[in-house]
Amino acid sequence: MNIAAKFAIPSLLVTVLMAALVVPAAVQADSVRRIVHPDGTVEFTNVTGARAKPSTKKETVYRYKDSNGVVAFSEMRPADAEFDVIRFECYACKPNSTINWHKTRLFLEPYQDEIRIAARSFGVDPALVRAVIHAESAFNPQAVSSKGAQGLMQLMPGTAREVGVSNALDAAQNIRGGVNYLARMLQLHDGDIKLATAAYNAGPGAVDRHGGIPPYAETRAYVERVGILHQRYRNEAVN
**CB-facing half-sphere around the CA of 146: CA atoms within 13 A:** 9
Strands 60-65 and 83-87, sheet pairing: antiparallel
Planar angle of CA 94, 99, 105, nearest 5 degrees: 125
**Under 8 Å between Cβ of 90 and 154:** yes
Q: How far apart are CA 189 and CA 201, in angstroms?
A: 14
User: Which residues lie across from 42 on neighbouring strands?
Assistant: 9, 36
Q: Reply yes or no on whether 136 is catalytic.
A: yes
Residues 6+ apart with CB under 8 A from 1: 66, 67
The CA distance from 140 to 134, in Å, is 9
Distance between alpha carbon 34 and the CA centroid of its chain, in Å? 26
Identify the active-site residue in 89, 109, 136, 236: 136
Helix (H, G, I), strand (E, B) or coil at 155: strand
Please give the Cα distance from 222 to 24 (Å, whole number): 44
Residues in a beta bridge with 35: 43
Cα–Cα separations (whole angstroms), residue 122 to 116, 129, 141, 185: 10, 11, 21, 12
Which residues form the catalytic set?
A: 136
